[in-house]
């Protein structure tokens, strides 16, 4: 049921009584399974992720006195075991941290980088761009991993535990095993052909040459040993040590099954690339929305600028009083426009002149918002505007299509008893990454470099997302933390899903802030995703509803997408309580846990 939304933040911090799904998970003894529930309320801190074992790893660290950063790294490491096709030390991500003592938000750009030898023709062969499928399962697609550096940087700056300590739960899960579920088997099956190209991947993820059986125990002793080595030696084992040498050898000489006939094009990663890598500490993006401060990640990700611009476009529309059709129409059109600007202006700021401040200005958003009509739909691809010289209702450039991004990543959200919060999205790009496992190390390498444009998205204009030496490919990752007028947390959230991450975060935020849904219901609500394309993607709950017919009457066109994203979030409640929320159904449902459940 919809309910009116008061503009006072005390109302946003809803009581546990509004929660309609699930219950708080009880504390788990070490080594015991915890029931997967999508919402939990209690004290001492909270963790929400897609996986029960991973959330429990974070809770274990919180219970032992660790803070939100310690728990976030522990949860991420465990996801590298149980969600190895979406995350792991072979990938990268973006980390957003709220410091309760100073009431400030900080971020880490842990995005992978192209080799120092790369140029704009990285994916051009014989004068033409490679087919995406040919590029993905190759050494060419692998960027310098950023996840280990992200963990080390976060712990050094804000953590209270050593890396070896917070890796212990994940090391234990890898050595003792976790229970295979339908999602893990399905994701393995969808990658079976690719996995068989690479003997080390097939040996690990197709035990005995077969798909893993639901209910069986999956162990990864190689990854357990890798985590133990990282805990002992630190991440220099990757960036200046033997682990890094193994990564370089694997990228440059992909170990292919000879009988497969697969051409796994070699990359050009070097020891210099690993030694030169740095996780970047940088200022967050900030957008004011309904009196709230919305903080996210700045470029190289387009998440903060694109979600922020869309929120600014929606700022002057009272979505709390709009009908469901009016709300969805405005949300879809704002997404369409923001994606048009994203494609033209956002890339790695170390290489591109990205107008971040101007993209997030209310003046620019107002100049774009007037393109939206209540009785008509914009035609995609919409042309970008010029944020440095905004002109009302103008489209100041040549339209370019939105390039493809892999849709499987993972997100975790953590809060601790001191009020610190982490929103962290990490990835190896598409499900299964490059499909190349580092021999004897137990983890898959990313295919993040395929997030670059293989060729200019539109030859008539400069493409800010072409490859370059040491350049970070544009991302859509959007870990977000929302603060009230006193700079205290209201909610934090994020999602996997490639380019749909942006629309998922935007929709969950507006459902929660404007439409008054409890956080778990905002996460569960059926989604729409418009990314400056001819058709808007709808999940079945909207595609099969009367709302679709009413939106089509305005001029919208739709196509079905079975599942969009898999969000998690935490919400600050009165009296020192936290609410953790995760998916109810998507990707098999998520796991929300708290240290001490409330009665």
- For the annotated catalytic residues, the residue numbers are 409
Distance CA 123, CA 304 (A): 27
Helical H segments across 196-239, by residue range: 199-205, 221-233, 236-239
Q: Which residues contact 241 (CB under 8 A, 6 or more apart)?
A: 233
CB distance 426 to 384 below 8 Å: no
- Three-class SS state of 208: helix
Residue 96: name the closest of 278, 284, 241, 367 by CA: 284
Residue 524: name the closest of 544, 504, 543, 506 by CA: 504
Distance CA 486, CA 498 (A): 33
Distance CA 263, CA 254 (A): 9
What are the C-alpha distances in Å from 332 to residues 1, 143, 337, 452, 455?
22, 33, 9, 25, 28
Burial of 194 (0-12, 13-18, 19+ CB in 10 A): buried
What are the C-alpha distances in Å from 222 to residues 52, 109, 172, 204?
22, 28, 12, 9
Distance CA 495, CA 241 (A): 33
Distance linking the first and last C-alpha atoms of the chain: 25
């Amino acid at each position: 049921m919809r309910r009116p939304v008061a503009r006072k933040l005390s109302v946003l911090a809803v009581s546990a009584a509004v929660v309609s799904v699930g219950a708080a998970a009880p504390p788990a003894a070490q080594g015991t399974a915890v029931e997967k529930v999508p919402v939990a309320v209690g004290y001492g801190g909270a963790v929400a992720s897609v996986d029960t074992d991973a959330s429990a790893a974070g809770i274990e660290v919180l219970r032992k006195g660790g803070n939100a950063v310690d728990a976030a790294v522990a949860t991420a490491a465990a996801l590298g075991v149980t969600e190895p096709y979406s995350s792991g030390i072979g990938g990268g991500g973006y980390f957003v941290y709220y410091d309760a003592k100073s009431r400030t938000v900080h971020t880490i750009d842990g995005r992978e980088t192209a080799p120092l030898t790369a140029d704009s023709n990285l994916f051009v062969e014989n004068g033409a761009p490679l087919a995406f499928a040919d590029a993905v399962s190759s050494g060419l697609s692998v960027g310098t991993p950023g996840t280990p550096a992200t963990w080390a940087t976060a712990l050094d700056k804000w953590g209270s535990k050593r890396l070896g300590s917070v890796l212990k739960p994940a090391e234990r899960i890898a050595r003792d095993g976790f229970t295979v579920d339908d999602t893990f088997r399905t994701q393995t099956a969808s990658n079976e052909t690719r996995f068989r190209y690479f003997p080390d991947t097939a040996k690990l993820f197709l035990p005995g040459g077969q798909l893993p059986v639901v209910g069986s125990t999956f162990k990864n002793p190689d990854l357990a040993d890798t985590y133990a080595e990282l805990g002992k030696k630190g991440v220099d084992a990757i960036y200046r040590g033997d682990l890094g040498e193994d990564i370089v050898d694997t990228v440059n000489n992909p170990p292919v099954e000879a009988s497969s006939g697969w051409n796994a094009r070699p990359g050009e990663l070097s020891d210099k690339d690993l030694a030169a890598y740095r996780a970047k500490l940088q200022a967050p993006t900030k957008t004011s929305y309904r009196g709230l401060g919305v903080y996210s990640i700045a470029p190289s990700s387009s998440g903060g600028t694109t979600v922020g611009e869309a929120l600014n476009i929606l700022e002057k529309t009272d979505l709390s009083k709009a009908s469901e059709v009016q709300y969805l129409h405005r949300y879809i059109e704002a997404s369409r426009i923001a994606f048009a600007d994203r494609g033209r202006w956002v890339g790695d700021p170390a290489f591109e002149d990205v107008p971040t401040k101007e993209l997030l200005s209310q003046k620019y958003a107002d100049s774009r918002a007037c393109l939206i009509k209540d009785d008509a739909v914009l035609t995609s691809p919409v042309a970008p505007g010029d944020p440095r010289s905004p002109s009302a209702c103008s489209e100041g450039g040549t339209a370019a299509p939105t390039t493809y991004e892999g849709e499987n990543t993972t997100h975790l959200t953590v809060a601790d008893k001191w009020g610190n919060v982490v929103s962290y999205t990490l990835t190896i790009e598409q499900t299964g990454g490059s499909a190349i496992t580092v021999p004897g190390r137990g983890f898959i390498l990313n295919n993040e470099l395929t997030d670059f444009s293989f060729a200019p998205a539109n030859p008539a204009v400069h493409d800010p997302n072409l490859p370059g030496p040491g350049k970070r490919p544009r991302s859509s990752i959007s870990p977000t933390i929302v603060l009230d007028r006193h700079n205290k947390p209201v909610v934090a959230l994020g999602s996997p899903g490639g380019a749909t991450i942006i629309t998922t975060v935007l929709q969950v935020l507006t459902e929660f802030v404007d439409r008054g849904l409890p956080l778990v219901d905002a996460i569960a609500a059926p989604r729409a995703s418009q990314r400056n394309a001819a058709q808007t993607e709808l999940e079945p709950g909207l595609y099969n509803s009367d709302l679709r017919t009413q939106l089509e009457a305005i001029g919208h066109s739709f196509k079905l997408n079975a599942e969009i994203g898999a969000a998690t979030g935490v919400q600050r409640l009165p009296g020192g309580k936290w609410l953790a929320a995760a998916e109810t159904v998507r990707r098999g449902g998520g796991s929300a846990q708290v240290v001490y459940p409330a009665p």
